Amino acid sequence: MVAAVRVHKTGGPEVLTYEDIDIPAPGPGQVRLRQRAAGVNFVDTYFRAGMYPSPVGMPFVSGNEGAGEVIAVGPGVTDLKVGDRVGYVVPLGAYAAERLLPAERAVKLPAGISYEQAAAAMLKGMTVCYLVRRTFPVKKGDTILVHAAAGGIGLIASQWANALGATVIGTVGTKEKAELARANGCHHTILYRDEDFVARVKEITKGALCDVVYDGVGKTTFPASLDCIRPLGMFVSFGSASGPIEAFNINLLQFKGSLFATRPTLNHYGAKREDLLALADETFAMVAGGKVKIPINQTYPLKDAAKAHRDLESRATTGASILLT
């Protein structure tokens, strides 16, 4: 039996149940991991609340990102062995002391990447990688807007885009978060709970607006985000921290400047093994080269997963949160 955090019935953070579960021996193509750390992500709250259906039915072990050591290898697994250090992103199963993992989703960790860093970089770092390098490849001279710039994704995105030579504008909820975002690559910050962020973007860019807006906030920043984008620029809606965006008339994109809009997810950008490994390599290289630091600002024991969710959903966190498994 191993410790895990399961959801038997969807709902608020109180449905996260700390209990012992059985893990069978690894089947064909699987490895068994002794986990060291699991990332805490907004997507974990979507599954917990039932906004995303569980692909494995009920009950399910929460968590979508983690890292640990291979302790057993199933039939047919040739490229992993006991003792290998790996990280991963897969739907569910991460909030546990041990787990089974499809070997083809495991990424070997370079020596310089700790389990804790990997538990925050596999989902958040690789997401930023595809957002700034694939969805809208940010280049020197671009001006970008990152919503929730002091969050898990936000602090990594701000650093990475800054390293690419962009002018980075970040929205944040508090003055303390503004300071942190500026220390992590934002050139300008906007207190979007108090200030009109569209007016401030116009002022900061002297009317030129942004080449791209990265929006993981969703409901409360839409459609105002579209008014921050120059004609032919791109709206990247990658999350719903404040709730999902309502259906809208596509003609809106014409009136706002022949804009491009996309709603991407890491599941597709990293679906093929070669793409997954390319995203991981690029992310690890940014971290190893010191251009991107993975800011782990909250660490909890596994049994406190409900507190971790409460803190994340109440906007009390900055950077990444992890559970020590």
C-alpha to C-alpha distance for 321 and 249, rounded to whole angstroms: 36
Provide the β-strand partners of residue 52. Answer: none
Tokens 């958040």 found at: 124
| Amino acid identity at 151 | G
Provide the β-strand partners of residue 213. Answer: 145, 235
| Burial of 178 from C-beta contacts in 10 A (0-12 / 13-18 / 19+) | buried
Backbone phi, psi, residue 282, to 5°: -65, -40
At closest approach, how far in Å is the CB of 17 from ligand NAP? 22
Cβ closer to ligand NAP: 73 or 153? 153
Cβ closer to ligand NAP: 73 or 312? 312
C-alpha to C-alpha distance for 16 and 306, rounded to whole angstroms: 6
- Please give the residue ranges that form the binding site for ligand NAP (CB under 6 A): 41-43, 123-124, 127, 148, 150-154, 172-173, 177, 216-217, 220, 238-242, 264-266, 312-313, 315, 317
At closest approach, how far in Å is the CB of 80 from ligand NAP? 25
Cβ closer to ligand NAP: 77 or 94? 94
If phi over 0 gives left and psi between -120 and 50 gives alpha, with beta otherwise, what is residue 266?
alpha
At closest approach, how far in Å is the CB of 52 from ligand NAP? 10
At closest approach, how far in Å is the CB of 117 from ligand NAP? 15
Cβ closer to ligand NAP: 91 or 257? 91
Cβ closer to ligand NAP: 114 or 242? 242
At closest approach, how far in Å is the CB of 202 from ligand NAP? 21
